[in-house]
Amino acid sequence: MFPEEQKMVLGSIVILYFFFLFALSVYINKSSIKTYDDYNLASRNVSLFPIILTFVGTAVGGSTLLGFMENGYVLGMGQQWLNISLLVVGILMAFFLVKKIRKIGSKHRMVTIGDFTALRYGESARIPTVISILIAYCAITGMQFTAIATILNLTIGLSMTTGVVISWVLLTIKTYYGGLKSVIWQDAVHGTIQTVGVFLLFFATLIVAGDFSTISQ
């Protein structure tokens, strides 16, 4: 898909970007991780702005850019109702629930969603919560691996299987070294790049196509 020179440039960018993320993990590990709460709970003191960006960096990923966009093109803009519902729920969560959940979590020293459901509904609720979370995150993690493998396949020609293995190794290493705090700040970087990139891509498409009517057709 890309000439060899472009593959080399794109591959170098991907490699350098990973080393940047790994260096950020190591820096955060050395500079601000002293306790269990620092590593596993980001010290319980992350402000709203990086939280928003980490949600963008996590939610606006492979399924959104590679999946919803194709569905919108093939099936029509009705597919965007899923995004609209997520937006509405996210706003309601941010304004009315996040602070309350944070206070309850700090008061009872909670770590997982299972801790919350166990407090609210009893210990018997913990196992169904864990199972549902595992099923959901198997799908989410699988989409992340596939998205990274797709990028590696398109840019430097790696097979999808090799790309999935590489993405698993790289994501595990950078998460292991930095903990939740590094993941949040890395996702903040991702969220910023993705947001700016999507708008730049939109305007670039307008310029190439000539006008919006051509894109609509």
Any idea where the domains of the chain sit in the sequence? Answer: 4-216
Backbone angles phi, psi at 112, to 5 degrees: -120, 170
Q: What is the pLDDT of residues 18-75, one digit of tens each?
A: 888 888 888 888 888 888 888 888 888 877 778 777 777 776 665 676 677 778 778 8
Tell me which residue of 190, 186, 187 sits closest to 27, measured CA to CA. Answer: 186
| Token pair 């569905």 in the structure block, residue | 71
Q: CA-CA distance, 21 to 184, in Å (whole number)?
A: 11
Identify the helix (H) or strand (E) that includes residue 101. Answer: helix 98-107
Q: CA-CA distance, 2 to 14, in Å (whole number)?
A: 15
Q: How far is CA 163 from CA 10, 154, 159, 171, in A?
A: 15, 11, 6, 12
Q: What is the pLDDT of residues 73-84, one digit of tens each?
A: 788 878 778 778
* pTM: predicted TM-score of the whole model, two decimal places: 0.71
What is residue 79's DSSP assignment?
Answer: G
* Token pair listed for 20: 């940047």
Q: What is the pLDDT of residues 86-127, one digit of tens each?
A: 788 888 887 888 888 888 888 888 888 899 999 989 999 999
Residue 189 reports pLDDT greater than 70: yes
pLDDT attached to residue 191: 78
Q: CA-CA distance, 73 to 2, in Å (whole number)?
A: 24
Residue 149 reports pLDDT greater than 80: yes
